Chains A and B, each alone.
Chain A
């Protein structure tokens, strides 16, 4: 719908376009007119009733008076006198016809010299009435009222007077009243229209200012500050607009600024249309692909990005909302080279449900993959070059400790124990490094089983009890969830529990108790392992689950592990569909919470 000017806030009423002002004026006018019509109708009706009764009463009274006046003339058969009186009566307002008649209902005179109704019989009904009553007989005939007044004298019927009285003047009065009312109504309507126009002007003027300002804003012109004249909704609108423009100024970046941002991005950025046609790229994409911007524009992104595995194109791999995150694929550079990239895609709806476009951000992950490869190579090297010799070292030290090489002296025994302890520690480190790497690379294997939870907890406590005894720490299993089942890899679950229990022992003083509680919590099974240790320093709490993260507590440094345990535990528990968190208080201890979904 095209708007012809800023003055129109167009809507449509049938075939006629009415602006807000027109509709408002029409509405208010309609209210005025409707009000006027209702009032007029009520007034006219009341007035009509009043007028009709008054008119009827006047006719009846006139008939009664004529009858009274003509009694003597009727008695004396003075028809000339009757004619004179009836002629006078005929001159009265609204009298259409009046006659006097005898006891037989024959007309004496209608008041005219010609007297065409002379001897004419009045109606049978009127005659019957006259014979038996002295009361008025009132009949209606169209716009006329016919009143018959019997004239009796001394018990004899002399005749009567029959008057035909026009009620048409009522219609004239009604018409006059209606005309006057219409004039008043029209004046009211005009006043209503005028009032509505003034009111509308007051309402729409600020709106027009908002429209003009909005148009200016949309055309890139500086939005004027709107005057806030009132404290009502219109004033609030102006204030809100001013606030909006202020925030827009603060937050809106210019196209040039946006271009500069995009050009300085390290990641490649591609914007495509709904069908994948590239409409915009930044220089990073050009660098990655070795293709110029001009050449890339218009291409389809499937020619730029290899389709993720199992999909025909990058856009085919998007979720229902048109987005995807962390997709690893390859950017097809000039010359057939494939650049590994991690891609995130976001959909932009220009109009809801239509003309969707996509923003593809591609980060070169070649370096990272090389690091990963190096890590893998290192782990392989550790596995082969450290773990195997270490096993041999531990075996040799074990033989020494066992006296295979002869009785060791006290000092010798002491040195062998140190060597054994450190070789075991190195072994754990190597195992942890390998486990951590497996988790990172997704190569850790899980063998899921439906098992009961409590035996796993008890088994983990048993596994750790020797370590606890060594440090004079005692486990206490407070609560349990007998029969509760979980679907986990039992070995990995025990690994996590053991790790958490060892950790608690590690930070417990001699004689401390590590409490283990198993319970249900928010539809999860929760195992809480609480120690009475020093608690976790505040600045370390965010790093507890990071690899190689270790607290700086001097007193406990000698007990610290490889620094991978909690990281591995977190990785495993998340793979099992659970979570691990902790609650801690300095000087009071720490509780690690392991939550795992209960299996039916």
Chain B
């Protein structure tokens, strides 16, 4: 009787940031297991998931070598790239999309025709960690010279030299708040804008559309063995080619595939890196 080869002792650790670690663990586990299972040749026998509560903590984990891979949306990825001992390795597609962007909109009858008209008004963003719902539009507005200040109350009085913002925590909330005049403007993922506006799209005016950014980024710890990195890269790039790999990707937040940055990571993430300073404070919290 043939004996199964012994499982290598090596461990591949994938890190993530979330305030719901148990849920996040379950999202990452099948992906980690699949990748680890395909790295036996490089002595990786097991996959591990580490969930921490902040990006700062993740930077520390990467720096200390306790996390090998970090997979997140472009701003967090840019953040750990900038502050941790990591580099962007590959691009991750989600739900058939390789990139996304945001739109900033207001009611057409609100008298707001441009971003400048938002001064002294309140804009609604989505969730605090949402790339298209918050990080992208906020950084874009900020890069346009607007001073954005966070408020809790959408009805708060805003000084004319500032733009107040509130978190609606939901793109649908954002849309209705704008439509019902609860806020002056809102920002949502451009992919969903049309669906959210529906038949009332004529009541809206788009004030700004951000540049497209990669949908998601796989970062790798710089100190990781290069042979291992190459092996990981190979496994990830080929995942969508096998049945098992596709199943693991699907279970991993509907990932379509993982590929290389078309123009290289530095160029494809250049806009993000430029906008990052406007939201670093938000990301580092």
**A contact residues vs B (CB 8 Å cutoff):** 77-80, 83, 102, 108-109, 114-115, 118-120
CB atoms of A102 and B198 under 8 A apart: no
B-side contacts of A114, CB under 8 Å: 195
15 chain-A/chain-B pairs, Cβ below 8 angstroms: A77-B177, A77-B182, A78-B173, A79-B170, A79-B172, A79-B173, A79-B175, A79-B176, A80-B173, A102-B180, A108-B176, A114-B195, A118-B172, A118-B198, A119-B200
B-side contacts of A78, CB under 8 Å: 173
Do A77 and B172 form a contact, CB below 8 Å, given A118-B196, A119-B199? no
Question: In the assembly, what is the distance between CA of A80 and CA of B173, in Å?
Answer: 6
**Is B265 in the interface zone, CB < 8 Å from A?**
no
A-side contacts of B200, CB under 8 Å: 119
Across the interface, name the chain A residue whose C-beta is closest to B176: A79
Do A109 and B199 form a contact, CB below 8 Å, given A77-B182, A102-B180? no
Across the interface, name the chain A residue whose C-beta is closest to B179: A119
**Is B18 in the interface zone, CB < 8 Å from A?**
no
Across the interface, name the chain B residue whose C-beta is closest to A78: B173
B-side contacts of A109, CB under 8 Å: 172
Do A80 and B182 form a contact, CB below 8 Å, given A118-B198, A119-B198? no
Least CB distance, A255 to chain B, in whole angstroms:
104
A-side contacts of B169, CB under 8 Å: 80
B-side contacts of A77, CB under 8 Å: 173, 176-177, 180, 182
Chief secondary structure at chain B's binding surface: helix
Across the interface, name the chain B residue whose C-beta is closest to A84: B170
Least CB distance, A129 to chain B, in whole angstroms:
22
Across the interface, name the chain B residue whose C-beta is closest to A80: B170
A-side contacts of B196, CB under 8 Å: 118
Question: In the assembly, what is the distance between CA of A115 and CA of B199, in Å?
Answer: 13
Q: Give the interface residue-count category, chain B.
A: 10 to 19
**B contact residues vs A (CB 8 Å cutoff):** 168-170, 172-173, 175-177, 180, 182, 195-196, 198-200
Across the interface, name the chain B residue whose C-beta is closest to A108: B176
Least CB distance, B132 to chain A, in whole angstroms:
16
A-side contacts of B172, CB under 8 Å: 79-80, 83, 109, 115, 118
Question: In the assembly, what is the distance between CA of A115 and CA of B172, in Å?
Answer: 10
A-side contacts of B177, CB under 8 Å: 77
Least CB distance, A99 to chain B, in whole angstroms:
13
Question: In the assembly, what is the distance between CA of A114 and CA of B199, in Å?
Answer: 15
Least CB distance, B48 to chain A, in whole angstroms:
31
Least CB distance, A107 to chain B, in whole angstroms:
10
Across the interface, name the chain B residue whose C-beta is closest to A118: B198
Question: In the assembly, what is the distance between CA of A78 and CA of B177, in Å?
Answer: 9
Least CB distance, B155 to chain A, in whole angstroms:
11
Least CB distance, B129 to chain A, in whole angstroms:
16
Across the interface, name the chain A residue whose C-beta is closest to B200: A119
Question: In the assembly, what is the distance between CA of A83 and CA of B196, in Å?
Answer: 14
Interface contacts beyond A118-B196, A119-B199: sample of 14 additional A-B pairs, CB < 8 Å, sorted by A: A77-B176, A77-B180, A79-B173, A79-B175, A79-B176, A80-B169, A80-B170, A80-B172, A83-B170, A109-B172, A118-B172, A118-B195, A119-B198, A120-B199
A-side contacts of B195, CB under 8 Å: 114, 118
Least CB distance, B20 to chain A, in whole angstroms:
16
B-side contacts of A80, CB under 8 Å: 168-170, 172-173
A-side contacts of B173, CB under 8 Å: 77-80
Interchain residue pairs A-B with the least CB separation, the first 6: A80-B170, A119-B198, A79-B172, A79-B176, A79-B173, A119-B200
Question: In the assembly, what is the distance between CA of A78 and CA of B173, in Å?
Answer: 6
Across the interface, name the chain A residue whose C-beta is closest to B172: A79
Least CB distance, B21 to chain A, in whole angstroms:
22
Across the interface, name the chain B residue whose C-beta is closest to A106: B200
B-side contacts of A119, CB under 8 Å: 198-200
Question: In the assembly, what is the distance between CA of A284 and CA of B196, in Å?
Answer: 128
A-side contacts of B198, CB under 8 Å: 118-119
Question: In the assembly, what is the distance between CA of A60 and CA of B173, in Å?
Answer: 28
Question: In the assembly, what is the distance between CA of A13 and CA of B176, in Å?
Answer: 77
Question: In the assembly, what is the distance between CA of A80 and CA of B175, in Å?
Answer: 11
A-side contacts of B176, CB under 8 Å: 77, 79, 108
A-side contacts of B168, CB under 8 Å: 80
